[in-house]
Amino acid sequence: MTYEELFQQISSKKSYLCVGLDTDIRKIPAHLLKTADPVFEFNKQIIDATVDHCVSYKPNVAFYEAQGAKGWESLQKTIEYIPNTHFTIADAKRGDIGNTSGLYARTFFDPASSGLDFDSVTVAPYMGSDSVKPFLEFENKWVILLALTSNTGSSDFQRLNIEGSALYEHVLRTSQTWAGADRIMYVVGATQASEFQKIRSIIPDHFLLVPGVGAQGGNLEEVSRFGMNAHCGLLVNASRSIIYAGNGLDFAEKAKAEALLLQNEMEIYLDKYCK
């Protein structure tokens, strides 16, 4: 999916919501455990319920890998099930020496190799350019680099002052020489609202993947006010607050209601701040 196509989806759905498919077999409703593939059945119903209110899905790969071969199968089926109108993110936080990164890229971007065909993958930037470039060799695929993450430990390294600016700012500046806003996005946590203006002064055009609203307490209004650009430039993720909104037979309806609440709010912010 291109930058323009993503913006078109956002404009037509009036949403920049990314639903996080962090599907934990230990948390899904009991009645699904009798089905052949409970994780896929859960995801399928969540996707059906939320598809009109979001523009993106982000399975966090850990939740699938923890299930071994079966989890991988659930992930493949989930990715195949998501309509191609929706931007897909493999939240895997990969990155390694060049030849290994090349294989990680094949894992998520080359269906002939792995059965998976994601639009993007989250990548840790700290091994530098040669660890990221193999992901950029796949046409029309995106790298989402970790910049300033939502967790408290983000200040251990990402905010360290190096030659007058925080380490994460160096990540933003240096990585812009690797590819443009049509191929790279950045993760900035919703809990880091105070930094959004500075971030926008460094990368005015890029999309930001913003996790941390909902269960982690980030503020959607602040993120939108300080983070939005003329192409929206935001994908705001919520995982647990949507997918585990209910735990009974009506879990998908509850998820839909939660996604709709966020989408209604997003519609207001798009009108107000997408300029």
Ligand X SMILES: O=C(O)c1cc(=O)[nH]c(=O)n1[C@@H]1O[C@H](COP(=O)(O)O)[C@@H](O)[C@H]1O
Residues forming the site for ligand X (CB under 6 A)? 20, 22, 60, 91, 122, 149-151, 187, 189, 211-212, 214-216, 237-241
Q: Which is nearer to ligand X, 76 or 241 (CB)?
A: 241
Q: Which is nearer to ligand X, 67 or 241 (CB)?
A: 241
Active site residue 27: no
Q: Of 216, 209, 204, which Cα lies nearest the Cα of 241?
A: 216
Q: Which is nearer to ligand X, 71 or 211 (CB)?
A: 211
Q: Which position among 70, 93, 133, 254 bears the catalytic label?
A: 93
Task: Name the minimum Å distance from CB 147 to ligand X.
Answer: 9
| CA distances, 62 to each of 24, 92, 101, 244 (Å) | 9, 7, 18, 17
Backbone angles phi, psi at 236, to 5 degrees: -100, 120
Q: Which is nearer to ligand X, 68 or 153 (CB)?
A: 153
Task: Name the minimum Å distance from CB 190 to ligand X.
Answer: 9
Task: Name the minimum Å distance from CB 212 to ligand X.
Answer: 6
Name the residue with tokens 């060049």: 98
Q: Of 24, 31, 38, which Cα lies nearest the Cα of 74?
A: 38
Beta pairing partners, 232: 229
Q: Which is nearer to ligand X, 188 or 270 (CB)?
A: 188
Active-site residues, by number, are 93
